[in-house]
């Protein structure tokens, strides 16, 4: 059964995110198609036994539930809640992995206001626990998607009060790994993670 | 804001689980208080930097959302969905860990109908990926809570068509580790996981 928004856009509850009040237009999250790509990649990785990675359900605060006779419990009042973690986690090659995926229409930089405090705090706790923490960043106009270590995000995030409020495109390109466009899956992001791991091993650092 | 069920029982949406049609009374899930204990333990482990483990939100299928002017989006029709994973995962000592928590009122055994197919399948995929997969089992009448490796569950699960439909209490006691009752947290289950890991190292197997 398909549901549409009043504007005719289709409503896909599998990848539904809380609509946000625009904070100036182009900076707001537009993760719909990137999310679909990552979910497809995760299904592929699961089916082929390469990794077990799932998107967490959107947290919902349930206020009222009705229990109609002979049919499923129906939630009649509920609200979106703020998540306390990132959207994705799982296991790959024995590593705990944890990440979020962000899309921007900017071409010259990735604005930090795509990211929320709780996501950074969560990723920092994952790094402390020796998990693999990263971010998938899509420059949608450029049609380029990168994986960057969360450490790169922290560098800019921790200096954003006094420094710049975005990560330059060139830094993402240099520090991150481009996800090569694939057929199935279209966005084989673990291949890019593999390359980042190789670089980390070779150079002994987390960022470049 | 507190909400109660018609029977006066308080409704805690943080630990809400889809009510199930009873399948014969005492076998059905009664995870409420165990869930609260585990969530409290997870908060403690997070605050003390020992582990990052979260309960996944209950998956909800959203059908209708209204957007009242000047207030939060309100979900007016939604249904509970079947999860495809277990309830808990995270990272501890660099390990990916993944588990479910089950409570039974039985005293002599843990009935396998507390478990669902998708949970077993998910835990098997985690073992394949070299994660730590386990189950927390509470015998609520006995007031005893154990951690057992998922491998023990598989042994019985894979033979339940021809063999017995429950795991004997004595087997849980012998193969698992009792979670010692604590003060803060009340249910320090990672201590029991540590003991299981020690036994695995010493004896070189996963079960006993």
Report chain B residues whose CB lies below 8 A from the CB of A49: 125, 128
CA distance B136 to chain A (A): 20
Top residue of B78, B86, B94, B190 to mutate, by most chain A CBs within 10 Å, is B78
Cβ distance B73 to A54 less than 8 Å, yes or no, reads: no
The pLDDT, as a whole number, for residue B71 is 85
Task: List, for residues A70-79, the tens digit of each pLDDT value.
Answer: 888 999 999 9
pLDDT in tens, A140-160: 999 999 999 999 999 999 999
- Rounded to the nearest angstrom, the gap between the alpha carbon of residue B111 and the centroid of all alpha carbons in its chain is 15
Q: Which fold has domain A25-57+85-203?
A: Trna Endonuclease; Chain: A, domain 1 (3.40.1350)
**pLDDT score, position A205:** 57
Mean pLDDT by 10 residues, chain B (208 residues): 50 47 40 86 97 96 92 93 95 97 97 96 98 98 97 97 95 98 95 97 66
Among 1.20.1250.20, 3.30.70.1710, 3.40.1350.10, 3.30.365.10, what is the CATH number of B24-56+83-203? 3.40.1350.10
- The strands making up A144-149's β-sheet, listed across from edge to edge, are A51-55, A88-92, A95-104, A132-139, A144-149, A177-178
pLDDT of res. B203: 80
How do the domains of chain B map onto residue ranges? 24-56+83-203
Q: In this complex, do B129 and A73 lie within 8 Å of one another by their Cβ atoms?
A: no
Taking an 8 Å cut-off on Cβ atoms, the answer to whether A49 and B84 are in contact is no
Q: What is the pLDDT of residues A44-72, one digit of tens each?
A: 999 999 999 999 999 999 999 999 888 88
How many helices (H) does chain A have, and how many strands (E)?
5, 12
B12: annotated binding-site residue? Answer: no
Q: What is the pLDDT of residue A10?
A: 52
How large is the ipTM? Answer: 0.81
- Asked if B58 and A78 count as a contact pair (C-beta separation under 8 A), the reply is no
Chain A residues inside the 8 Å CB shell of B122: 52
Q: Does the pLDDT of residue A193 top 50, yes or no?
A: yes
Q: What's the average model confidence in pLDDT over A179-207?
A: 89
Looking at chain A, the whole-number percentage of residues with pLDDT higher than 90 is 77
- Please give the Cα distance from A69 to B59 (Å, whole number): 22
Q: Residue A156: which of A164, A144, A148 has the closest Cα?
A: A164
A-B CB pairs within 8 A amount to 123
pLDDT of residue B158: 96
Which of B59, B72, B98 is facing A79, going by the closest CB pair? Answer: B72
To the question of whether residue A85 is assigned a binding role by annotation, the answer is: yes
């Amino acid at each position: 059964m398909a549901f549409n928004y009043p504007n005719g856009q289709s409503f896909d509850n599998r990848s539904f995110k809380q609509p946000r009040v625009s904070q100036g237009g182009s900076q707001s999250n537009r993760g719909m198609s990137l999310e679909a790509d990552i979910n497809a990649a995760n299904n592929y990785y699961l089916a082929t036994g390469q990794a077990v990675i799932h998107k967490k359900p959107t947290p919902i605060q349930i206020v009222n539930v009705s229990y109609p006779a002979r049919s499923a419990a129906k939630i009649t009042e509920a609200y979106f809640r703020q998540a306390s973690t990132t959207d994705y986690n799982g296991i790959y090659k024995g590593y705990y992995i944890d990440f979020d995926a962000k899309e921007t229409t900017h071409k010259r930089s990735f604005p930090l206001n795509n990211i929320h405090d709780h996501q950074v705090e969560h990723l920092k706790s994952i790094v402390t626990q020796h998990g693999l923490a990263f971010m998938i960043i899509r420059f949608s106009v450029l049609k380029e998607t990168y994986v960057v270590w969360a450490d790169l995000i922290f560098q800019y995030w921790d200096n954003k009060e006094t420094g710049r409020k975005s990560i330059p495109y060139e830094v993402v390109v240099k520090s991150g790994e481009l996800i090569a466009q694939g057929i199935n899956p279209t966005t084989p992001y673990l291949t890019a993670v593999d390359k980042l791991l190789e670089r980390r091993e070779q150079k002994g650092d987390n960022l470049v």
